[in-house]
Each structure stands twice: as C-alpha cells, then as structure tokens.
Amino acid sequence: MNNRNILVTILFLLFSGMAFGQHMLTYQSYVKDVERQDTTLVRVLENNGQLKIESLGNKVSNPIPGYAESVTCVDYLQDSVFTLLQYPDGRYYSAYPFSDNDVVFTKEGKEKVLGYYCFKYKTIINSNTIEVWMTKKPGFEATPMPQLGHLHSVMVRCVRNGNYVTDLSTIKTDKSAKNLIPSDKGERKTSRELSQLRKDKLVMRIPVFADEQIHFADYEPFQGEIPFDTTIHFSHGTVIVKRMQLPQLPEHYQIFAEIHQRSNGDAYDRTASVFVIPTEKDRSFRDGLQQGVEAVPVFEAKDGQQYQGIKAENDYLPLVELVRFFTSFGAGHFNDKVQIDGLTWTEENYYKQEVSELRDRLQGDVLIGAFIGNYDKGGHKLSLDLVAYPGEYEWHDEPCHQHSIPLFNTCNVLEMSGQNYGRLFATDSLETTFEIPEGATNIRLRYLSTGHGGWGGGDEFNPKGNVIYIDGVKRFSHTPWRCDCATFRDQNPVSGNFWNGVSSSDYSRSGWCPGTTTNPVFFDLGDLKPGKHTIRIAIPQGQDEGGSFSHWMVSGAILYETAK
C-alpha cells in the first residue's frame, strides 16, 4: 500500500470513529419467550475495518460428503463482502461490494438495549419485518449479518418478525484477530454460482440408468450371475435391470428417484415402473426374468386364470415398486408432427418422487429395474438417478431403523414374456400374510393403485373403491382418481383430439394421467400387534366387453421402524 492509500485509510478510520485494535464479538440467536431452547452462536472477529464471521455451532466431527468449512469476511475499507468455502480439494469464494446491498432502513429513534445506547432501524425484506439496534460506542464497525447492509456501527440486536432474536452476547479485545481475509481465497465464483456449488456438493447423486432404450426387440436371454454396474435387457427389451452396490446413508438423508423419459418412436401412454427386486428369500423375481414367468409362484384365480409372481409367499417376495409412472402420448419423438396454437410441447417427461420410506431397499447389493410396456421398435429412452439430500452436516454410521415387508405387486412388468394382467379382482380378492416383529413402531401400509381398461365402460375411466381388509376386518377404503389430467396437455403431442375440443389425455382416470407419477397412499396400522396378519384387497372390477377387459395394478408394502 503506498503512502497516499495509508493516509486515506487513516483518515477513514478517524472520521468514522473506528478504533484501532482487534476485537471478538459473540452473538446468540434464539426464539423469543421459548424456554430451554438451543441457541445458535456466531463469532465476529474485527481488526481495523475487516471482519471474519463464522458459526460457533456444534463442531462437525464426522462431516458428510460435500461439507465445506465456510466463513464470511467483510472489508469495510475496500467495500467488499467475501464468502469463502474450504473443501478438501480446493477453495472457492465470491465477492460483492457492500454498497450493493440495497436494504433501505428507516430510523425509529434511540433505545437502550443490553446496556448500550442504540439507534433503532426497521425494514421489510420479502414480507419479513427486520428491526436492528446499532451502537457507535465501541468505536468500530461489526455485524454478524452483512446482508443487511452497512449501518456504520456495531449491531447489538436484530429481531425478525417480532420473535427470532439475535443478541450481542460478549465483546472483548482479542489480539489473535489478525489476517482475517486470506490473500489466496481460491477460485472466484459469482454469489449464485457459489451457492449452487455448495448445494451440488452436498447432494449425493447416484446415476442408475443413462438414456437407456426400453423397446420391443430381440435380445438373447441373459443367464448366470448378473454383473455389477451393467444394464441388462429382459422381456424383449421392455425391462432393464442393473445390479448396484449402494451406500447406506444416514437416515437424515431424503432420497428421491429422478426420472427423465421421452418417446423414441412409441406414440402411446404406457404403464411404467421403477422397482427393486428383493432377493432375501429362496426365490425372487430375478428367476422370472432369467427363466421365464413359470419360475415364480403362481396364483390361480377361480376362473382358472393364472397370475405369476404377484404376492408374497413363504419362499418368495414380489417386486418393491419405487415409482409408478405413465408415459405421455409421444413427448419428444412426435413434437414436430403436430402443432396446436398456444401449446409448446415438452421435450421430455420429468418425474421426481421421494422414496425415503424404502431406504432399506436402497442400500447394499441391490437389483434395480425399470419397465415400460410397449411393442414399439423405437420405444422410449429413460434415465434414472437416485438423489439424496442431507438433513444435517454430520455423517452417522448406524444400522437402518426403517424397514419394509413387500406384500404384493400386480404390475405385470413381464407383460411381453406372458405375465398376466391384474384381472383377478373380477372373481377374487388379493390376499397374503405378513409378520410384524417385536418392537416395531410406526407401522404403515404403502399402497399404490391404478385402474385400467381404456374404453367408456372400462375401469380406467370409472372410479372404483379399493377396500383393504386386515385380519378379516375392513380397515380402509380408497378410490384412486385423478381429475387434473388436462394440466399436462403440453406433454401429449399425439393425444387424440375430439370434436368438442377435449383431448384424450385430458380425461380423468383411475389414479393416473398420461405423463405423471402415481403417488403412494399411506394407511396407519399402528395398532397391529407382533405376529402374523393377513391383508386382503377387494376391488369391484368391471366386466369384459368384447375383446376389452379391465385390470388393476396394485402394489403394497408394510413399513415399520425399530428402536435406534
């Protein structure tokens, strides 16, 4: 710094009333009038016009992947605010002028707060009322909240919406407060880029399928051990499966299935499913994939129809459905084939659904698959990621306390290999048994149901109640129905358009719409005692008409927790 700059700095300090020295201030935040609460502590180090602001919260002893040490620095003399992130593989920072903070405060007089004579200021930010009390008595400037702008004094108190309080707790001389802003701050980013970088590094994204084709084609039957990290096609290419080694995540992570799908030649709305194959019993759905549908247990209905692999048996568990979704009418491939004024077709369908409740099925050695029922050579393209968002910064190595018991799944993912549609409800109900272990809590049924039969009298277009019996007692009645299908018109370029202006994709349906997911429904079974129980599903399925028939795709699993 040359002599002129030194002089300018000295004059600034003198006229601003700022004292030379090194100081440490501690702030605590709390909710007003709430007893025995945790407080958040922030430390502000000050040295001749520079600040270093850092949290004094609980020390992260075992940080999650992507965690960064973060500090905010202020240089009043250079009119700059810095945010610095320190990662094991490098440093990043953003900087912006303090004067860019456009918060406008109104001065509301003087008050004595925490022993300091203060000026009170007030502003409103995004519907939040912010009140701050500032004092000039210490002779320097400091704030734990540089985002509130430059008020040329020391913040003593800040109150948000009348109840969330940040108070100055201690202020003292600290000779260690020097070199507060490092000369090497790392790679510079904009504030938005740095915020996105921080989030991206914290989120754990696990690619499963990348632009895989799901279509009707000739594939050699795959035999033998399924290798890790290799996509295998089954059932004439309409089912894809990958074996993966998935990490056991702490239970504070929320897990989502994120799906991108587009038509690669198929024009129709198709049933689709993302699933996990349980393998803890002697037999599994993997046998059906590799050996044919006759290799899984068969349920024979009263009318003689056979249904393969649809429910739990002593030596077998059905597929666990993560996400059921429905392709749209041709989004992607057919976008340039039809033009309608006022509509711009989406390039692909995007589905994202939380599956945290099935985390026990998404750890360790996992067979995960996807199905889109179609007879088209081009078919569809699909990508799938598992995306996990942390709920805290600490990594916990502990057993999973959330558990699932697969019960049934009539979604015939081996349709092209002869697996029957779920037509059994015309003459039968669907029944199986399960066992609740000792110590189980928060017991629930996770249930998905969609009705099909695509003509006026078919169950696709007629509401039907699903009745759920537990141990022979009617417990729940649920009618799957979606009446918002017209919302997704821009995803259905080759949906049929009728004389009255309605599109076929607009019609309400039994629990689904073209281009959407079907959300699971959760039923409380907290009163169930340990031991064996039965569950039975009854649906008044409609009668066949000519060559058309109705059917139901239902899947269910018991969820419960054990003590930590």
pLDDT (tens place) for every residue of the chain, 564 residues total: 444 444 444 444 444 444 557 999 999 999 988 765 667 799 999 999 999 999 887 788 999 999 999 999 999 999 999 999 999 889 999 999 988 887 899 999 999 999 999 999 999 999 999 999 999 999 999 999 999 988 889 999 999 999 999 999 999 998 887 889 999 999 999 999 999 999 999 999 999 999 999 999 999 889 899 999 999 999 999 999 999 999 999 999 999 999 999 999 999 999 999 999 999 999 999 999 999 999 999 999 999 999 999 999 999 999 999 999 999 999 999 999 999 989 999 999 999 999 999 999 999 999 999 999 999 999 999 999 999 999 999 999 999 999 999 999 999 999 999 999 999 999 999 999 999 999 999 999 999 999 999 999 999 999 999 999 999 999 999 999 999 999 999 999 999 888 888 999 999 999 999 999 999 999 999 999 999 999 999 999 999 999 999 999 999 999 999 998
CA dist 223 and 4 (Å) reads 81
Residue ranges and CATH numbers for the domains of the chain are 20-197 (2.50.20), 203-561 (2.60.120.1570)
DSSP 3-state of 5: helix
Distance CA 317, CA 298 (A): 12
Going by the DSSP 8-state scheme, the letter that residue 499 receives in this structure is: T
| Separation of alpha carbons 205 and 199, rounded Å | 12
Q: Is 249 helix (H, G, I), strand (E, B) or coil?
A: coil
CB 371 within 8 A of CB 289: no
Give me Rg for the CA atoms of the chain. Answer: 31
Place of tokens 């198929």: 266
Q: Angle at CA 170, nearest 5°, toward 164 and 174?
A: 135
Beta carbons within 10 angstroms of residue 414's beta carbon: 24
- Find the helix or strand (DSSP H, E) in which 196 lies: helix 191-202
Choose among 49, 70, 68, 56: nearest CA to 143.
49
- Please give the structure tokens belonging to residue 349: 């369908």
Is 425 exposed, middle or buried (CB count within 10 Å of its CB: 0-12, 13-18, 19+)?
Answer: buried
What does the alpha-carbon distance between residue 31 and residue 34 come to, in Å, rounded to a whole number?
Answer: 6
SS3 label, residue 316: strand
Rounded to two decimals, the pTM is 0.90
